[in-house]
Amino acid sequence: MQGHAPTPAEKTLDAFEAAKGFMPRDEGLALYAAAVEAGSLGLPLLEVGSYCGRSTLLLADAARRSGTVAVTVDHHRGSEEQQPGWEYHDPEVVDPELGVMDTLPTFRRTLHRAGLEDRVIAVVGRSPQVAAVWGGTLGMVFVDGGHTDEHATGDYEGWVPHLVPGGLLAIHDVFPDPADGGQAPYRIHRRALASGAFEETSVTRSLRVLRRIGQGL
């Protein structure tokens, strides 16, 4: 992109900083810039793995700027590392009646407080099931769901076919060194590049953004 990278509205950025989640500011700004670019295609921006809406705020702001919508796909029961006894577990997002993770209420509050609910279509379900019935095309796919090979591969294979040429694929938590984190996102990133159907456009810490230039997985 030419000139200065676009930045979210100040209210959005404040909400991003206040929201529960794990994406740092520099990665968030890179994601936002990619979402604005992808939004110019006039197609939905899709996020797999929303948690409590921290990164969703950025996609929603970009969608508002571009005149499109952000679609989020999450079962809102938390990924493996967010379950009780694991490193990223947060008891504040446990349903007190059922005793299971439920990030949906927090997610909705996050969007409401930022005034961005009208730019988000929240789909509550498991990514492969939603992808299997999805009929439209997408300008962006942001993969930030479960970090096992099964989940990351399912997200990649389920959603990339819906991404139009010129659309952007963003993958979070790409760690080339296993000492830094799980390898499943790294493996789908390598797969995308090896397919010849993508070119990398930006690297910001663990966030990779690729542009679709051809067919194939």
pLDDT in tens, 130-180: 999 999 999 999 999 988 999 999 999 999 999 999 999 999 999 999 999
Model confidence, pTM: 0.94
Contact call for residues 208 and 187 (beta carbons, < 8 A) = no
Residues 6+ apart with CB under 8 A from 70: 35, 44, 45, 46, 47, 56, 59, 60, 62, 63, 119, 120, 121
Beta bridge partners of 122: 72
> What strands, in cross-sheet order, belong to the sheet with 163-171?
120-124, 70-74, 45-48, 138-143, 163-171, 207-212, 198-204
Residues 6+ apart with CB under 8 A from 41: 139, 164, 166, 167
pLDDT digits (tens, 9 = 90+) for 70-104: 999 999 987 766 657 656 667 788 888 988 889 99
3-state secondary structure of 140: strand
Does residue 147 carry a catalytic annotation?
A: yes
Q: Which two tokens stand for residue 16?
A: 């991003």
Residue of 75, 76, 147, 172 with catalytic role: 147
